[in-house]
Amino acid sequence: MGWYRRGFQELNGPAVELNSWTHVALSYDGTNMRLYIDGNLVANTNVSYAPNPDQPARIGTGHDSGNTPIFYFPGDIDEVRFWNATRTEKQLRANLFKDLSPTETNLVADYKFDTNSKTLINSSTNVAGLNGTVRNSPNFFPSSIANPINGLHFDGINDHVSVPYNANLNPTDITISTWAKVTGGAGSFRAVVSNKNSSFQGYVLYAANNDRWQFWIGTGSGWRIVTSTSPIILNKWTHLQGVYNSSTNTLELYVDGALEGNSTSGGNSIKTSIELLIGASDNSGNPGFFFPGEIADIKFWNTPKTYADVSSTFQNYDPLTDPNIIAHYSFDQGLSAQSNGFLKKLYDFAGGYNGAINNFALTGSASNFIVGNPSPAGGGVSGADLWLKADAGVSPSTGSLSTWADQTTNHSTTIGGASGYFPTGKL
Ligand SMILES: [Ca+2]
Ligand SMILES: [Ca+2]
């Protein structure tokens, strides 16, 4: 970024990781240019800037001083977006794997690469005439970046996600919400999510050796544990919610919305010093107690939450409007049960505490990202954009298309924003 024909300001981020999908963003607000990697600001500086007055925008190549393409990019590119406004870290994170509306505010160009054509289509309709020309026959392939609704399957042998230690993941008050489907390992400890050390500090949600769910917090000298009254049901998606409220010293475990474990006395050292683990917990300094099964949609808040609070975030969740969210691992990334070997990170779509994906096969229907985003009704999808289009010649009233009803369960969902032939909304 810089002055045309005078010089360019460079910003250096972390080392480029080969064969790994990486999200890169650059912004300029009139004073400050910023470089973001995977939703996190990594470098910034003040600089003046003169926009390019005449050269085409190029994707996959730069150009030399004679405006000849050079510096070709070896690898894959997807979802190139240009905005006429700066984006915050939170905005970048929230949209990492989301398709955007053609009329998204400030979106100038949105190249999805979803059509194998010599015309590169700008999916944004805000500005006309910004389609591109595809040269020299690059290879198109199924996108891994398009509204997935996945969970992650763990092999129970060594699969786990590790997130570097951060004090924000160890708040004074905490609520953890997650969906888990355990498929085996009866009689053993299987950790859904943990951030604990061997000095009795931190927390963990377990499928425990007594085949009940447990939520642990450290006291500094031992573990304070609440246990579910109902047994674990194998192969069933179960919602788990662990809460610690420091002002009342209350420790709670909810299973599918029911308060099944409750403790009002004991110590309360939930601060730890080591990495957050998903699908594992600390075993004397190493990941252990691996989880066999699927995990989906983990959220962390820095406040005590009721189940009503938590369940209201199951669908249409927007981290941008939630001041108390710390981290959100929705697992909505990758292609279900297909090759995801280039996805090296588990993304935190709220806080940017991205994790490393360790020991997964990342291909096939096990040890991989697979469709799995359970709803309170026990199935279906959440957070997916729904587009309805009437057949040609049919003129439905908006009212008749404003509600979807499930004929089996009689659950119905109101669809907002209905208008004319193209009502849109979310289920
Ligand atoms: Ca795409
Ligand atoms: Ca493995």
Q: How far is the CA of 366 from the centre of ligand 2 (A)?
A: 9
With residue 326 as reference, give the H or E element that holds it: strand 325-329
> Considering every ligand atom, which ligand is closest to the CA of 143?
1
Three-state DSSP at 386 gives strand
The pLDDT value recorded for residue 302 is 97
Per-residue pLDDT of the chain (427 residues; tens, 9 = 90+): 544 446 888 899 999 999 999 999 999 999 999 999 999 999 999 999 888 888 889 999 988 878 888 999 999 999 999 999 999 999 999 999 888 999 999 999 999 988 888 999 999 999 988 999 999 988 887 766 666 789 999 999 999 999 999 999 999 999 999 999 999 999 999 999 999 998 999 999 999 999 999 999 999 999 999 999 999 999 999 999 999 999 999 999 999 999 999 999 998 877 888 999 999 999 999 999 999 999 999 999 999 999 999 999 998 899 999 999 999 999 999 989 999 999 999 999 999 999 999 999 999 999 999 987 675 544 444 444 444 444 444 444 444 444 554 444 445 555 444 333 333 333 3
Q: How far is the CA of 155 from the centre of ligand 2 (A)?
A: 6
With residue 94 as reference, give the H or E element that holds it: helix 89-94
> Considering every ligand atom, which ligand is closest to the CA of 280?
2
Q: How far is the CA of 153 from the centre of ligand 2 (A)?
A: 10
The pLDDT value recorded for residue 51 is 87
The pLDDT value recorded for residue 114 is 86
Query: Do 155 and 367 contact (CB within 8 A), yes or no?
Result: yes
The pLDDT value recorded for residue 401 is 47
Q: How far is the CA of 280 from the centre of ligand 2 (A)?
A: 12
Predicted confidence (pLDDT) per residue in 258-273, tens digit: 999 999 999 887 788 8
Task: Report domain extents, the chain.
Answer: 150-371, 385-426
The pLDDT value recorded for residue 267 is 84
> Considering every ligand atom, which ligand is closest to the CA of 152?
2
Q: How far is the CA of 285 from the centre of ligand 1 (A)?
A: 40
Predicted confidence (pLDDT) per residue in 340-397, tens digit: 999 999 999 999 999 999 999 999 999 999 987 675 544 444 444 444 444 444 444 4
- Burial class of 55 by CB neighbour count within 10 A (0 to 12, 13 to 18, 19+): exposed
Provide the sign of the torsion angle of the four alpha carbons 366, 368, 371, 374, taken in this order. positive
Q: How far is the CA of 239 from the centre of ligand 2 (A)?
A: 24
Q: How far is the CA of 339 from the centre of ligand 2 (A)?
A: 15
List residues, by chain if needed, whose CB lies under 5 Å from ion ligand 2: 155, 158-159, 359
> How far apart (Å, rounded) are the C-alpha atoms in residues 109 and 180?
38
The verdict on pTM exceeding 0.75 is: yes
> How far apart (Å, rounded) are the C-alpha atoms in residues 207 and 228?
10
Of the candidates 39, 52, 47, 75, the residue with the CA atom closest to the CA atom of residue 5 = 52
> How far apart (Å, rounded) are the C-alpha atoms in residues 363 and 338?
5
Q: How far is the CA of 260 from the centre of ligand 1 (A)?
A: 44
> Considering every ligand atom, which ligand is closest to the CA of 292?
2
Neighbouring-strand partners of residue 122? 111
CA-to-CA dists, residue 223 to 190, 217, 226, 280, angstroms:
16, 6, 10, 17
Q: In CATH, which of 2.60.120.200, 3.30.70.2200, 2.60.120.10, 3.40.50.2000 is domain 150-371?
A: 2.60.120.200
* C-alpha torsion 115→116→121→125, nearest 10: -10
Q: How far is the CA of 337 from the centre of ligand 2 (A)?
A: 15
> Considering every ligand atom, which ligand is closest to the CA of 145?
1
The pLDDT value recorded for residue 247 is 94
Q: How far is the CA of 157 from the centre of ligand 2 (A)?
A: 6
The pLDDT value recorded for residue 353 is 98
Q: How far is the CA of 218 from the centre of ligand 1 (A)?
A: 44
**Cβ-proximal residues to 193 (8 Å cutoff; 6+ apart), any chain:** 176, 178, 204, 205, 276, 277, 278, 279, 295, 298
Q: How far is the CA of 207 from the centre of ligand 2 (A)?
A: 19
Q: How far is the CA of 362 from the centre of ligand 2 (A)?
A: 9
Q: How far is the CA of 254 from the centre of ligand 1 (A)?
A: 39
The pLDDT value recorded for residue 202 is 95
> Considering every ligand atom, which ligand is closest to the CA of 364?
2
The pLDDT value recorded for residue 63 is 82
The pLDDT value recorded for residue 54 is 86
Q: How far is the CA of 287 from the centre of ligand 1 (A)?
A: 35
> How far apart (Å, rounded) are the C-alpha atoms in residues 14 and 207?
37
> How far apart (Å, rounded) are the C-alpha atoms in residues 120 and 116?
8
**Cβ-proximal residues to 407 (8 Å cutoff; 6+ apart), any chain:** none
> Considering every ligand atom, which ligand is closest to the CA of 123?
1
Query: Do 302 and 350 contact (CB within 8 A), yes or no?
Result: no
The pLDDT value recorded for residue 412 is 52
**Cβ-proximal residues to 233 (8 Å cutoff; 6+ apart), any chain:** none
Q: How far is the CA of 197 from the centre of ligand 2 (A)?
A: 23
DSSP state of 140: P
> Considering every ligand atom, which ligand is closest to the CA of 142?
1
Q: How far is the CA of 255 from the centre of ligand 1 (A)?
A: 37
Distance of CA 314 to the CA centre of its chain: 13
Three-state DSSP at 19 gives coil
Planar angle of CA 421, 382, 251, nearest 5 degrees: 150
Q: How far is the CA of 148 from the centre of ligand 2 (A)?
A: 22
Query: Do 93 and 319 contact (CB within 8 A), yes or no?
Result: yes
Sheet holding 40-46, edge to edge: 24-28, 32-37, 40-46
> How far apart (Å, rounded) are the C-alpha atoms in residues 124 and 220?
54
Of the candidates 375, 232, 199, 358, the residue with the CA atom closest to the CA atom of residue 287 = 358
Predicted confidence (pLDDT) per residue in 79-96, tens digit: 999 999 999 999 999 999
CA atoms within 13 A on the CB side of 221: 2
> How far apart (Å, rounded) are the C-alpha atoms in residues 221 and 35?
44
